[in-house]
Structure 1
Amino acid sequence: MNDLISIPCVLMRGGTSKGPFFLASDLPSDSRQRDQILLSVMGSGHPLQIDGIGGGNPVTSKVAIVGPATVSDADVDYLFAQVRIDQQFVDTSPNCGNMLAAVGPFAIEAGLIKATTGVTRVRIHNVNTGKLIEAEVPTPDGRVAYMGDASIDGVPGNAAPIALTFMDAAGARTGMLFPTGNPRDRIDGIDVTCIDCAMPMMLLEATALGVTGNEPAAVLNANGALLERLETLRLEAGRRMGMGDVSSQVTPKPVLISTPNKSGDLGVRYFMPRQCHPSLATTGAVGIATACISDGTVASRLIGDRKPPVVLVLEHPSGRLEVKLDTRDGKTVAGILRTARRLFEGRVFAKPIAQMVCAA
């Protein structure tokens, strides 16, 4: 059969990212078949993703798959997929905290969880990392509210606030906060911190690579020598973190840090990994802030002694992002304010799986 596959879909903005949201039950349970559908839906393998609904940028080539919880302390499962633009590849190794902001509203409106009057707390199990995140979704009159007075840098206008709390995000991928066993390592003459907290990352001072760390994202993206050096360092960091050959993965993410340019606490340029993020990943912010309060890291060396409870302001290319760090039951928890919006709902079309497999 050559008919296109029709799948229910909701396009949502979550934080500073955007992508289709699917119910897990509407996609194949076989991961290979599922990924083939996602590649077709997004139009991967073309820089503009012209034959799909992807936006031709890593922050708009993301997918969220949501279903009933498979663990007892959660309400829903959330599987994140980073769909490569230039390659036919789906990476489910990382989490995305920006897309995470829309998981609660989607789950409520999909009937996976019943809304309460006022605020509905949704306990989200991130399948990628096995970690739990709590989302507080505004639900006046028992319905999701998208309009409000909250604003986040990188998104125009105002919207209803969604509070995300990352519960014990350390060791999301490797099981260790510092997978190399050290808060600071030296790779090719550069001091780096390899940290795994919400997102595996490699942090280093921007000045070590000959840039200030305050440049616009477009300027850094045009610096081919910088991108090549970052990738070389990232590959070695991935190996030392026990992640093997990460050349086809988007983690660990390279992060340039610097002294703040305005009134924040730290300047941040977060790469995805071969392109600078136009703002800052939520999961990245959690890990960077955690590095700031951890002794011996390149971040703590730059920012000075900070301990929870504390609010850290991270400056990124589009503005600022605040991370509130505290302790609960002896573990660090991180709180971030995000917003989300439902953009459209309907059905998206994919090529037949057999045709895609043959083409591959």
Structure 2
Amino acid sequence: MTQTAIPYLFMRGGTSRGPYLHADALPKDRETLSEVLIAIVGAGNPRNIDGVGGGTAVTTKVAILSASEDPKADVDYFFAQVAVEERMVDYAPTCGNILTGVGPAAIEMGLIKAQDGVTPVRIRAVNTGALVEAEVQTPGGEVSYEGEVAIDGVPGTAAPVSLNFLDVVGSRTGALFPTGQPQEEIDGIAVSLVDVAMPMMIARAADLGITGYESHEALDAMPELFGKMEALRLEAGQRMGLGDVTKSVTPKIGLLAAPQGDGHFSARYFMPWTTHPTLAVTGSQCLAACALAPGTVAEGLARPCPESPATIRIEHPVGVMEVRVRFGRENGFEFHSAGLTRTARLIARGEVMVPRSVWRGA
């Protein structure tokens, strides 16, 4: 055979999808691993025509799973964001939507033994060190994908996967506000640089010349907006201690507007060179923290939320995402934890092929 076969599960997690792979079936060195993932996805082509990618940043994501050596976790989840049109892989961020599928995938791979009813899976997000507990529906000791939960951005309904995120503050930088300030200016634009689950640069949509209610297609057709945001983001990366982020997808970008419906605020999330069609799970936590903390760009724009615990409703291009949060204000603002309910589905299983010239196998 002129190709190397790699076992895989192809899953939707939240509003993203991609291959879920076992670490033991992949090369150990990072350079070869990147070439394998590029080949699997078909990166370097806008349609990813020679791989399983879907031509968008939410469909070129990869989850790599293994048994965890951390006593606090059952499974290690290593995330890879593969580029669409470039032959590039970014290992700096994590993805909360893809994480939704990690619990079910770990059970399908035999890393976790399913219980009858609900199976808790403790997950360590290797990229950031965050700990997450997922609750997977397993009636009769098998993963159930059918259910009555609907999430905006995905057709139909499916079984719920509850996620509880712990230790999310300072995921990359070690601080809620890496610069020590809840708000500052970059090139005359007010921004909040926040690190909760995902480092982000957050600004008011109106300050960037948009309403904040545009569709993701309309925003993707605004090259001047992306040029302006990228200039701000590069400086934000330096200020946050992330260094040169020219080739990194972090920090992500969020633009806020007042709510149009019964949400707490409206948000548009950027990945960062395209607009997210809905909203990232990690990004939603960071945006919620920004809305709750005093003195940020969200102050006076987001509906107030005086009591903890609370459910923050974030309006996005195709609906609303709800984030369950716990926080305190007794000794200054403290963000304790966040939880969400998402869904996942196993789409395919089998082997994905890569040319032997890329990797000859384990």
Q: What TM-score comes out, normalization by structure 1 length? A: 0.96
Identity %: 49
- Alignment match, 1:73: 72
Superimposed CA distance per residue, residues 302-323 of structure 1 (whole angstroms, 9 cap, x where no aligned partner): 2254342111100000100000
Name the SS for the 2:301 alignment partner: helix
Superimposed CA distance per residue, residues 200-244 of structure 1 (whole angstroms, 9 cap, x where no aligned partner): 110000000111000111111101111110111111101110111
Separation (CA, whole Å) in 2 of partners of 1:354 and 1:190: 45
Aligned positions of 1:158-169 closer than 5 A: 158-169=157-168
- Alignment match, 1:115: 114
Aligned positions of 1:212-231 closer than 5 A: 212-231=211-230
Superimposed CA distance per residue, residues 73-103 of structure 1 (whole angstroms, 9 cap, x where no aligned partner): 0000000100001111110100100000000
Separation (CA, whole Å) in 2 of partners of 1:154 and 1:281: 11
Superimposed CA distance per residue, residues 277-330 of structure 1 (whole angstroms, 9 cap, x where no aligned partner): 0000000001111111112111234225434211110000010000010259x8
Separation (CA, whole Å) in 1 of partners of 2:231 and 2:105: 39
Give the total of aligned pairs: 354
Separation (CA, whole Å) in 2 of partners of 1:56 and 1:70: 35
What residue ranges of structure 1 are gaps of 5+ in the alignment? none
Aligned residues of 1:33 and 1:353 also touching (Cα < 8 A) = no
Moved more, 71-80 or 285-294: 285-294
Superposition deviation, residue 152 in structure 1:
0.1
Separation (CA, whole Å) in 1 of partners of 2:155 and 2:199: 29
Residue 284 of structure 1 aligns to which amino acid in structure 2? G
Superposition deviation, residue 173 in structure 1:
1.1
**Structure 1 residue 130 corresponds to structure 2 residue 119:** no
Name the SS for the 2:201 alignment partner: strand
- Alignment match, 2:354: 350
Aligned residues of 1:168 and 1:331 also touching (Cα < 8 A) = no
Residue 310 of structure 2 aligns to which amino acid in structure 1? V
Residue 14 of structure 2 aligns to which amino acid in structure 1? G
Aligned residues of 1:200 and 1:252 also touching (Cα < 8 A) = yes
- Alignment match, 1:100: 99
Aligned residues of 1:264 and 1:313 also touching (Cα < 8 A) = yes
Aligned residues of 1:37 and 1:353 also touching (Cα < 8 A) = no
Residue 97 of structure 1 aligns to which amino acid in structure 2? G
Let me know the Cα RMSD of the aligned residues.
1.5
Residue 247 of structure 2 aligns to which amino acid in structure 1? S
Separation (CA, whole Å) in 2 of partners of 1:331 and 1:48: 40
Superimposed CA distance per residue, residues 20-64 of structure 1 (whole angstroms, 9 cap, x where no aligned partner): 000011101111111110001111111111111100000000000
Residue 264 of structure 1 aligns to which amino acid in structure 2? G
Aligned residues of 2:259 and 2:302 also touching (Cα < 8 A) = no
Name the SS for the 1:36 alignment partner: helix
- Alignment match, 2:320: 320
Residue 145 of structure 1 aligns to which amino acid in structure 2? S
Aligned residues of 2:289 and 2:335 also touching (Cα < 8 A) = no
Superposition deviation, residue 70 in structure 1:
2.4
Aligned residues of 2:193 and 2:202 also touching (Cα < 8 A) = yes
Aligned positions of 1:74-93 closer than 5 A: 74-93=73-92
Moved more, 213-222 or 301-310: 301-310
Separation (CA, whole Å) in 1 of partners of 2:126 and 2:305: 31
Superimposed CA distance per residue, residues 90-124 of structure 1 (whole angstroms, 9 cap, x where no aligned partner): 10100100000000000011111111111111000
Separation (CA, whole Å) in 1 of partners of 2:66 and 2:359: 27
**Structure 1 residue 31 corresponds to structure 2 residue 30:** yes
- Alignment match, 1:334: 338
Q: What TM-score comes out, normalization by structure 2 length? A: 0.95
**Structure 1 residue 199 corresponds to structure 2 residue 216:** no
Superposition deviation, residue 13 in structure 1:
0.1
Aligned positions of 1:237-252 closer than 5 A: 237-252=236-251
Separation (CA, whole Å) in 2 of partners of 1:158 and 1:128: 30
Aligned residues of 1:66 and 1:77 also touching (Cα < 8 A) = yes
Separation (CA, whole Å) in 2 of partners of 1:44 and 1:36: 10
Separation (CA, whole Å) in 2 of partners of 1:201 and 1:12: 27
Separation (CA, whole Å) in 2 of partners of 1:326 and 1:115: 29
Aligned residues of 2:264 and 2:304 also touching (Cα < 8 A) = no
Separation (CA, whole Å) in 1 of partners of 2:83 and 2:337: 31
Superposition deviation, residue 174 in structure 1:
1.3
Aligned residues of 1:24 and 1:67 also touching (Cα < 8 A) = yes
Separation (CA, whole Å) in 1 of partners of 2:283 and 2:174: 17
What residue ranges of structure 2 are gaps of 5+ in the alignment? 329-333
Residue 91 of structure 1 aligns to which amino acid in structure 2? D
Structure 1: 4+ residue segments shifted above 6 A: none
- Alignment match, 2:156: 157
Aligned residues of 1:36 and 1:353 also touching (Cα < 8 A) = no
Q: 1:241 to 1:353 in 2, by over 3 A?
A: farther
Aligned positions of 1:164-313 closer than 5 A: 164-307=163-306, 308-313=308-313
Separation (CA, whole Å) in 2 of partners of 1:172 and 1:163: 21
Aligned residues of 2:183 and 2:192 also touching (Cα < 8 A) = yes
Separation (CA, whole Å) in 2 of partners of 1:76 and 1:96: 15
Separation (CA, whole Å) in 1 of partners of 2:335 and 2:119: 24
Residue 208 of structure 1 aligns to which amino acid in structure 2? D
Separation (CA, whole Å) in 2 of partners of 1:331 and 1:246: 26
